[in-house]
Amino acid sequence: MTLHAMLPARPIRRRAALMSLAGAALWHGAPGWWRGAVAQTAARGLDPALLDATVARAAALPRLQAFVVAYDGVEVAAHAFRGPGLDQPTNVKSVSKSVMAALAGAAIARGLLLDVDQRVAPLLDDLVPDAADPRISEITVDHLLTMRAGLERTSGRNYGRWVNSADWVGYVLSRPFIDEPGGAMLYSTGSYHLLSAVLTQVADKSTLALAREWLGRPLSIDIPPWTKDPQGIYLGGNNMALSPRALLRFGELYRNRGRHGATRVLPAQWVDASWTPRTRSRYSGHAYGYGWFIAAARQYRVYYARGFGGQMIYVVPDLALTAVMTSDLSAPSGRTGYGQALNGLLAGGLIPAAERGA
């Protein structure tokens, strides 16, 4: 019942013993203690008893707000324990990076970007400060998607200074180089904000307009406006608001390799590329592709998007399983054990339910 790291250059083997991220799920309370359930569990392909027990464990986590699970495209559990409802937008924090990565794939498919190896400085044009380090010219779309631009991070303790600056793009591009472009992953929302600026430039439309046109409309999901920088560029990689069911549709889009029903929304090759290990998080040890982390639970590959405080999309293609969890934003999930508890709901609950149900 653990969620393990996947090494970037090595495929998962069924009996592989890889780095452990989370132990057994941490929960309290008893079945039936949740409130505000908006749908009763209706298992199809998942063991009903195990699924009900997992819902009860989820409900006992006081910070967990919504819990939605689909098996083979059918919603089998949908509960709003507290907070916004299942169809109400909520701040998904850094899950926004996964959405932004999807927009990059859509831009490449439309010919607005050449490919992931395209250099971004010419696209940003006069947004690049005159005194910028010459190595700025080496940064590519791939480097932004994998957060390997080499620039000092604008997340964590640096985030406040960045978003209080007068020019967010210029601030990111003025940071010192901590590594060379294409080096190690330096988790930084600034990299994804540069991507948002690139998309705005090449499409001559706001990132909000692109998100609504390329994702919102075909998926039939609501994408409200979110934070903009002083120049009017929508924040790349943070603070988007999507409902739990919208997140489920987004996860299902990737599980179905870019299709929503009969509609091709993203190229299948983009989903494959996004789920290919390209670097690794120094914090979790998990591999990272384009906007998605890559890990293993039991013997199955797990692709997940995550945001501060416990905003999660989990996709387990081998089990036709997609799960969404949204949480209160009052505290981080990593240092408190709460993230382990969420991982445990998947690894110790939903996956065994899918195994037994199958």
Q: Are 208 and 225 in contact (CB under 8 A)?
A: yes
| CB atoms inside a 10 Å sphere around CB 267 | 15
Mean pLDDT over each residue of the chain, to the nearest integer: 89
Average pLDDT over every residue of 218-222: 98
Amino acid identity of 133? Answer: D
CA-CA distance, 343 to 15, in Å (whole number)?
20
Phi, psi angle pair for 257, to nearest 5°: 55, 50
- Crossing angle (nearest 10°) for helices 95-109 and 189-203: 30
Write phi, then psi, for 325 (nearest 5 degrees). -135, 125
Q: Looking at residue 332, what is its pLDDT?
A: 77
* pTM for the full predicted model: 0.89
Residue 42 binned pLDDT confidence (cut-offs 50, 70, 90): very low
List, in sequence order, every residue forming a beta bridge with 241; answer none if it has no partner. Answer: 91
pLDDT per position as a tens digit, 43-98: 458 999 999 999 999 999 999 999 999 999 999 999 999 999 999 999 999 999 99
pLDDT tens by residue, 327-343: 999 877 777 789 999 99
Binned at pLDDT 50, 70 and 90, residue 27 comes out as very low
User: Could you tell me if 137 and 95 are in contact, meaning their C-beta atoms sit under 8 angstroms apart?
Assistant: no
Residue 17: what pLDDT? 28
Confidence band of 290 (pLDDT split at 50, 70, 90) = very high
In whole angstroms, how far apart are CA 126 and each of 64, 114, 163, 178, 207? 44, 20, 20, 24, 19
pLDDT of residue 23: 33
Give the length of the chain.
358
Q: What is the pLDDT of residue 4?
A: 62
Q: Which domains does the chain have, with CATH numbers?
A: 3-88+243-357 (3.40.710), 95-209 (3.40.710.10)
For 179, the token pair is 């590594």
The total of other beta-carbon atoms located within 10 Å of residue 239's CB is 19
When pLDDT is averaged across residues 131-136 and rounded to a whole number, the result is: 96
**What is the residue-wise DSSP string for 159-225?**
HHHHHTSS-HHHHHHTSPBSS-TTSS----HHHHHHHHHHHHHHHTS-HHHHHIIIIIHHHT-----
Q: In this predicted model, what pLDDT tens digit does every residue of 262-272 receive, in sequence order?
A: 999 999 999 99
